[in-house]
Amino acid sequence: MIKDNKLLTARIIDRIEESASFTVLGKAKELEKKGEKVIHLEIGEPDFAPPETAINSLLESLKRGETHYTTAQGIIELRKEIVKYEKWFRGIEITPEQVVITPGAKPMILFALLAAVNQGETVLYPDPGYLSYKSLISFMGAMPVPYRLDKNRNFAIDLDDLKSKIDRKTTCIIINSPSNPTGMIHSREELQEILRIAREHNMLIISDEVYSRIYFDGQKHLSIMNLTEDHSNIILIDAFSKTYAMTGFRLGYGVLPKELVGAVVKLIQNSFSCVPEFIQRAGITALREGEQFIAQMVEAFAERRNRMYEILQQVKGIKVPKPNAAFYFFPEIKVNIESAEYAEYLLNHYRVALLPGEAFGDNGSGHVRISFANSLENLIEAATRIAESIDKLQKERGLKV
Ligand SMILES: Cc1ncc(COP(=O)(O)O)c(C=O)c1O
């Protein structure tokens, strides 16, 4: 819009927030430009190269000339492969007609909301939770309402809080297990209760399961889809981003109730048209041949988690739950400092970049998110610096009561 000869951004842009990880990354990069070495614990992507066979498939596809528009819903070979994978991994029966391929999980979240939620309706989302939920809900014209994850119960869903937030306008709930930022998973009982509540109130469930393959201590993923054969009010979202360290490929998918598929395909046709075929071919190979890759990556993550946890749990001014999935710690900072101020302090004085908890919602305040997608050596060094910084702050400012 141009007003008084000045170009202004449209009001709709005010509904979305800048991603905190990119803001912190920007500050860290400025320090690096001045020649400082920063340890990056703020970024949410695996620091591994994607499976080589997936890269080769992409290159072969390009050489075959698969460089044109392709079907908006996604090539049938990939959708069929996802059907097989879902049967094998989650143990659910779906059809290729229910699968829609998108450039990563994020557009699928937006399109699911656009396809199923009306403007002015209310969508529940977790707090602390992945920061795009609130932005995307607001952006499409619905009302974002956070429900609390309980800090004192390993970030389990506070069901009383959740129930108190439901009214006539509530039509959808987003759940995310394993969770970013907490690294925790929801129990069978919690998921069962979500299913029951959603049915009672005619709500759609969007289940974001992008960390479904990164589990520790031999635990197995449980999807809300596993709890019922009636998937008519559930949208499952997963992606290749975290599972195969393929963040930059931009490849994800939704499993949708049949009634919503056409709507999402229309949105795709009118926006990004399709995911490039060579990317989808890489996805097929990842699904067929990526199990060893996942096992090795998860083993590396597990070792990092264990080593970092050993250091952090000894620090008096931090309360650190041991995450059982994903690649994040979400500890509480128990010294007298706001977590945003602490994140800044740590970057400025100790050259370690992490994210303040309030970036993930009001209920995240007092916490920080530490990503362990970095080398073991860097992580041990960073944990030592965090321990030193907390020690120093504790002496200067005392512990929170
Ligand atoms: C919970 C959650 N959902 C979705 C995404 C987005 O994934 P993608 O890169 O596949 O769009 C992320 C990325 O950080 C995430 O943490």
Cα–Cα distance between 225 and 74 in angstroms, integer? 22
Domain boundary among 228, 258, 289: 289
Q: What is the pLDDT of residue 23?
A: 75
Q: What is the pLDDT of residue 19?
A: 73
Q: What is the pLDDT of residue 26?
A: 85
CB within 6 Å of ligand 1 — which residues?
44, 104-106, 130, 176, 180, 208, 210, 239, 241, 247, 252
Same domain, 151 and 285: yes
Distance 3 CA to ligand 1 centre (A): 37
Cα–Cα distance between 275 and 192 in angstroms, integer? 34
Same domain, 301 and 348: yes
pLDDT at 21 over 90: no
Same domain, 127 and 182: yes
Q: Both tokens of residue 48?
A: 């591994």
Q: What is the pLDDT of residue 382?
A: 97
Give the confidence band of 119 by pLDDT, cuts at 50, 70, 90.
very high
Q: Both tokens of residue 141?
A: 């014209």
Residue 57 lies in a domain: no
Same domain, 147 and 281: yes
pLDDT in tens, 149-164: 999 999 999 999 999 9
Same domain, 73 and 156: yes
Same domain, 76 and 198: yes
pLDDT at 343 over 80: yes
Across residues 202-206, what is the average pLDDT?
A: 98
Same domain, 252 and 273: yes
pLDDT in tens, 210-258: 999 999 999 999 999 999 999 999 999 999 999 999 999 999 999 999 9
Q: What is the pLDDT of residue 236?
A: 98
Q: For residue 336, count CB atoms less than 10 angstroms from its CB and return exposed for 0-12, middle for 13-18, buried for 19 or more.
A: middle
Give the confidence band of 341 by pLDDT, cuts at 50, 70, 90.
very high
Residue 399 lies in a domain: no
Residue 112 lies in a domain: yes
CATH (domain of 90): 3.40.640.10
Q: What is the pLDDT of residue 43?
A: 85
Same domain, 117 and 232: yes
Ligand 1 atom closest to the CA of 106, numbered from 1: 11
Ligand 1 atom closest to the CA of 211, numbered from 1: 1
Distance 209 CA to ligand 1 centre (A): 9
Give the confidence band of 177 by pLDDT, cuts at 50, 70, 90.
very high
Distance 201 CA to ligand 1 centre (A): 27
Q: What is the pLDDT of residue 320?
A: 96
Domain boundary among 248, 274, 289: 289
Same domain, 284 and 296: no
Domain boundary among 289, 322, 347: 289
CATH (domain of 344): 3.90.1150.10
Q: What is the pLDDT of residue 141?
A: 96
Range from 11-20, 38-47, 138-147, 166-175 carrying the lowest mean pLDDT: 11-20
Q: What is the pLDDT of residue 326?
A: 98
Our mutation pick for probing the ligand 1 site, out of 210, 249, 279, counting the most ligand atoms within 8 A of Cβ, is 210
Give the confidence band of 118 by pLDDT, cuts at 50, 70, 90.
very high
pLDDT at 20 over 90: no
Amino acid at 239: A
Task: Check if the beta carbon of residue 246 is closer than 8 Å to that of residue 294.
Answer: no
Distance 4 CA to ligand 1 centre (A): 40
Distance 240 CA to ligand 1 centre (A): 10
Same domain, 235 and 298: no
Q: What is the pLDDT of residue 18?
A: 81
Same domain, 226 and 355: no
Q: Both tokens of residue 27?
A: 């500050």
Range of the domain at 283: 68-289
Q: What is the pLDDT of residue 400?
A: 84
Mean of pLDDT over the chain: 96
pLDDT in tens, 357-376: 999 999 999 999 999 999 99
Residue (of 359, 370, 373) closest to 311 by Cα position: 370
Residue 35 lies in a domain: yes
pLDDT at 126 over 80: yes
Same domain, 199 and 110: yes
Residue 165 lies in a domain: yes
pLDDT in tens, 263-311: 999 999 999 999 999 999 999 999 999 999 999 999 999 999 999 999 9
Residue 400 lies in a domain: no
In angstroms, the Cα distances linking 11 to 105, 123, 139, 356 are: 26, 21, 10, 27
Q: Give the chain's domain count.
A: 2
Residue 244 lies in a domain: yes
Residue 54 lies in a domain: no
pLDDT at 179 over 80: yes
Task: Count CA within 13 A, CB hemisphere, residue 125.
Answer: 24
Give the confidence band of 1 by pLDDT, cuts at 50, 70, 90.
confident
